[in-house]
Amino acid sequence: MTTAAIPQADAGPLVDRPIVKAHIIAGFSFFFLSLFAGLFYALQLSQLYPFPGVELMSPGRFRMVHTNAIAYGFLLNNFMAALSWIVPRLTGQPVLSRKLSRVIFVAWQLIIGLAMVGIIGGKAQAIEWGETPTFVDPLVVVGAALLVANVATPILRIRARKLYVTLWYFGAMMVWMPLTYVMGNFVPQYFVPGAGGAAVTGLYIHDLVGLTVTPLGWGMMYYFVPVILKKPVWSHTLSLVGFWGLAFFYPLNGVHHFFYSPIPMYAQYGAVMSTIAVEIVVFTVIVNFFVTLRGKGDMLRTSLPIRWFYTGMVMYFITCLQCAFQTTLTFQRLIHFTDWVVAHAHLVMFGVFSFWIIGMVVHLWPKLTGFAWWSERLNHLNYWFSTIGLLVMFLDLTIAGIVQGYLWQNLAPWERSLTASMPFWHLRSIAGLLIISGQLLQAYNMWMTARGHAPASAPAAGEPVAAAG
């Protein structure tokens, strides 16, 4: 079996540590904004909304804050931290400019802040996952272009004949992200109405997850997992299959968000086929990572980052397996428009990518602050709170979706689907509270760690490779 060791440059002076830390802190701030916005929206569905009839606290607007803060505020900020940490190490080159990193950091927070204010103020755009007001869209494009210039430069500078897997994903993402954003936020808004516009929106919804978040996430995994396990990824060939399979099939999936709509059927059939193809490719990636773990399985217990990462991979596998079924037109009749889809979205955005990011933070935070974790116990508590909270929410909403689907199909009065959903919606709010509690513990632990209450020399359980980084 061919393997590729990770090229490790002496990264001490190459990595801009303060900017990594700043992105993580900003990311977690938006995380809490998103979590509470989600909770408020959930309380509305439980008929328990605490601020009824207040325009600037409208649950509909908070729903958009919830999704946009998680995608652009939490995930992208933390991915920028990952890029700033990983790319200089893999290339042996610094980013284009540290000053530019700071400009990007400030600009990005202002852009997301402006987007949040715009959405709350009633200026949202009607593009799912792109509700950033139309006047913010050009700024996002500029911000993305600056980020690409800053991080792509070290990748383009090295003259290596072969790049490490992580850099394939990061490199391709830097092409996909700006194209995806421009396509999704401008084409259906100004140029293509109706069903054609919906086809483009479908591509945008899917490409934002599939071509921006997913390659960043897997790029992170291909870096952090071998570094922490201290062994190379099992099969280089399988990682090639995984990357090229994603690049080819994933972008073709988009229309599966609008099955049975007036979008021409051949586009819908194409989306069914390519979605099922993606799941086969995903299986190769999962196999690769689990075989890599062989002989090191004990680290699921001893290393918390590894446990976060592999739990996320299991969730990813469940997400994708589920997707292969739910993308068929047979399933779509029943589950489309229901909470089943909401459960699916939470499984992938929280259960996979947020888990990976929390795992990364558990791994990096002691290196960034110079102090071991203030409390290992709180880190473990968040793992269990988040995992249990997510699984409860996922199963709860999945079942709710099936109930809603059958009630609609059987032509029960609409109100019947609401009263039937109510217990599920209550339980969802409780699961959400559990997840939020876990993150509060995590944030408190991060704060106490940064204050340096524990001695730096104390070896931390989640940190077997403090020197190799």
Total binding residues toward other proteins, as defined by CB under 8 A: 96
Q: According to CB under 8 A, which residues from 439 to 458 bind other proteins?
A: none
Q: How far apart are CA 209 and CA 218, in angstroms?
A: 12
- Helices 304-326, 376-409: axis angle to 10 degrees equals 10
127 with 188: CB under 8 angstroms? Answer: yes
168 with 223: CB under 8 angstroms? Answer: no
Query: What's the CA angle centered on 107, arms 106 and 110, to 5 degrees?
Result: 90
Distance of CA 209 to the CA centre of its chain: 7
Question: Min. distance of Cβ 59 from other proteins in angstroms?
Answer: 5
Cα radius of gyration rounded to whole Å, the chain:
22
**Residue linked to tokens 């935070």:** 365
Q: How far apart are CA 217 and CA 78, in angstroms?
A: 10
Distance of CA 92 to the CA centre of its chain: 27
Site string for other proteins, 337-366 (x = CB under 8 A): xx--xx------------------------
Q: According to CB under 8 A, which residues from 273 to 332 bind other proteins?
A: 332
Question: Min. distance of Cβ 271 from other proteins in angstroms?
Answer: 7
Binds other proteins by CB under 8 A, chosen from 172, 276, 291, 440: 172
**Residue linked to tokens 């949202």:** 124
Residue with smaller CB distance to other proteins, 41 or 317: 41
Question: Min. distance of Cβ 309 from other proteins in angstroms?
Answer: 24
Binds other proteins by CB under 8 A, chosen from 80, 86, 203, 349: 203
Q: Does 131 interact with other proteins (rule: CB under 8 A)?
A: yes
Q: What are phi and psi of 295, to 5 degrees?
A: 85, -15
Q: Does 251 interact with other proteins (rule: CB under 8 A)?
A: yes
Q: Does 189 interact with other proteins (rule: CB under 8 A)?
A: yes
Binds other proteins by CB under 8 A, chosen from 24, 199, 315, 441: 199
Q: Does 193 interact with other proteins (rule: CB under 8 A)?
A: yes
The CA–CA distances, whole Å, from 51 to 41, 58, 65, 122, 237 equal 11, 8, 16, 17, 55
Residue 434: DSSP 8-state: H
Residue with smaller CB distance to other proteins, 21 or 63: 63
- Helices 98-120, 137-157: axis angle to 10 degrees equals 150
Q: Which stretch binds other proteins (CB under 8 A): 127-135, 318-326, 347-355, 385-393?
A: 127-135
Nearest in space to 26 (alpha carbons), one of 66, 79, 65? 79
Structure tokens at 213: 């978040």
Q: Which stretch binds other proteins (CB under 8 A): 25-33, 175-183, 308-316, 435-443?
A: 175-183
Q: Does 266 interact with other proteins (rule: CB under 8 A)?
A: yes
Question: Min. distance of Cβ 359 from other proteins in angstroms?
Answer: 26
Nearest in space to 45 (alpha carbons), one of 30, 62, 31? 62
Binds other proteins by CB under 8 A, chosen from 255, 349, 372, 460: 255
Give the SS3 label for residue 176: helix
Residue with smaller CB distance to other proteins, 62 or 383: 62
Q: According to CB under 8 A, which residues from 401 to 440 bind other proteins?
A: 405, 408-411, 414-415, 418-419, 422, 425
Residue 193 has a CB neighbour count (10 Å cut-off) of: 9
Binds other proteins by CB under 8 A, chosen from 307, 336, 346, 363: 336
Question: Min. distance of Cβ 258 from other proteins in angstroms?
Answer: 6
Question: Min. distance of Cβ 49 from other proteins in angstroms?
Answer: 7
Q: Does 393 interact with other proteins (rule: CB under 8 A)?
A: no
Q: According to CB under 8 A, which residues from 369 to 388 bind other proteins?
A: none
Question: Min. distance of Cβ 139 from other proteins in angstroms?
Answer: 19
Question: Min. distance of Cβ 161 from other proteins in angstroms?
Answer: 7
Q: Does 262 interact with other proteins (rule: CB under 8 A)?
A: yes
Is the torsion defined by CA of 413, 416, 418, 424 positive or negative?
Answer: negative
Binds other proteins by CB under 8 A, chosen from 27, 38, 44, 351: 44
238 with 222: CB under 8 angstroms? Answer: no
**Residue linked to tokens 């409390």:** 375
Binds other proteins by CB under 8 A, chosen from 122, 370, 423, 452: 122
Question: Min. distance of Cβ 121 from other proteins in angstroms?
Answer: 9
